[in-house]
Amino acid sequence: MFTLAGCWNYRSLNDITIVVGIALDKRDTNYILTFEIIDLIESSKETGVKTKVISTYGETIFDAIRNTKKKLANKLYFGYAYVMIICQDIAKEGIHEIMDFFLRDAEPRATLFMTVSKEKTAQELLLTDGVDSSLVAYNINFILKEDLKVTGSTLAVPFYKAYRAVKSKNAFALPALKVSEVLEGKKAIESDGIAIFDDNKLISFLPADQTKYFLYAINEIDGGLLEFTNFNKKIERITFEVFSCKTNLKHYYEDNQLKFTIKPYIKASIGEIMSITDVNLSYQDLIDIEHRAEDMLAERMKATVDYIRHRIGADVIGFEDYIYKNDLKLWKQIHENFKELLKSAEISIEPNIHIINTGLTKNF
């Protein structure tokens, strides 16, 4: 075992430039790559890790990367790259081309997150200020990792999953990022829904407020909040904290008509109630709250699902893939005209919300 361990190429930190973030843009026929790199000279125990941003260009991705050697003493090292940001121009042309180098090279990890910039360029995101970390790429990495547990406003898609989706030729989604102002003169990155791809190309964005209900439909929610206003006669606004969600999908086919039922099973607690007077909840009140929340969630999920299939026109929820995996005989029968069948499909949403905790309010 000991003979198999150790460094495979004996390079020290002095011989490499560590890349933590990658932004890909395109101008005419040239690719413009921007890298966030670790500044080993300025970084110290007292000041923490410092980074610099460097840009380069080339006719291909590899050419652009190698051209950085004209500006740096050492070659770039991609083993610690957290995130890759793609501009809209490249995304609209198709992302398969730009993935090839990162698949062939030994250094980039298959777990680095792929994202799409909602700004004019991808570079703009790496030029922002880190809020709770000086590493912009690390901030993005942490935002994406925690989002499904905390806010449920976007996806976290590692490189290998994105490549798998591209190869499958199915519609898929990548997280979308934008620049927002956090303090006067200070700009930071903010997650902002998802970018939807069909046939390998960016076709639309779904905003964060709708992305949450899309995530419930595809069984990708691990936590977050559900907020409802104008809830009932007693409660003006209520917020639930979601602890778990398991979504099941069922299909039916009869008389050339597809029917789908989406059933999210949610365990949640009451995190906040906003009302004019104090609200004392009885057992029956809790039952009524669960039913009202189920109806309101079903309405929002249905609106999002219908918006995606009618306005955007992509099966990013994966209805066809579900039938392919669960009813191959039916898929062979309908796959050639599935898009038309999906547009006219009857889709029902049947959430089941179980309140497991109401919390205690303090009395003074």
Tell me the angle at which helices 159-168 and 96-104 cross, rounded to the nearest 10 degrees.
130
- Residue 139 to residues 112, 155, 185: CA-CA distances in angstroms? 13, 15, 19
What's the CATH number for 215-357?
3.30.300.210
Handedness of CA 271, 212, 311, 120 (dihedral sign): positive
Comparing 3-7, 106-110, 202-206, the range with the smallest average pLDDT is 3-7
Q: Is 232 helix (H, G, I), strand (E, B) or coil?
A: coil
pTM here is: 0.91
Residue 293: its pLDDT value, please?
Answer: 95
Average model confidence (pLDDT) for the chain?
Answer: 91
Side chain identity at residue 92, one-letter code = K
Residue 8: its pLDDT value, please?
Answer: 58
Q: What is the pLDDT of residues 306-338, one digit of tens each?
A: 999 999 999 999 999 999 999 999 999 999 999
Q: Is the distance from CB of 86 to CB of 117 less than 8 angstroms?
A: yes
Mean pLDDT of 70-75: 88
Helices (H), 182-240: 208-217
Between CA 297 and CA 227 the distance in angstroms is 10
Domain chopping of the chain, boundaries: 2-206, 215-357
Residue 343: its pLDDT value, please?
Answer: 94
Q: Is the distance from CB of 188 to CB of 128 less than 8 angstroms?
A: yes
Residue 13: pLDDT band with limits 50, 70, 90: low
Name 196's bridge partners. 173, 204
Q: What is the pLDDT of residues 222-233, one digit of tens each?
A: 899 999 998 888
Nearest to 351 by CA among 283, 282, 305: 305
Q: Is the distance from CB of 128 to CB of 136 less than 8 angstroms?
A: yes
Evaluate if residue 122 carries a pLDDT over 80: yes
**Rounded to a whole number, what is the distance in angstroms from the first to the last CA of the chain?**
65
Nearest to 258 by CA among 170, 173, 210, 327: 327
Q: What is the pLDDT of residues 203-214, one digit of tens each?
A: 999 999 999 999
Between CA 169 and CA 3 the distance in angstroms is 43
Residue 89: its pLDDT value, please?
Answer: 97
Q: Is 169 helix (H, G, I), strand (E, B) or coil?
A: coil
How many Cβ atoms sit within 10 Å of the Cβ of residue 40? 15
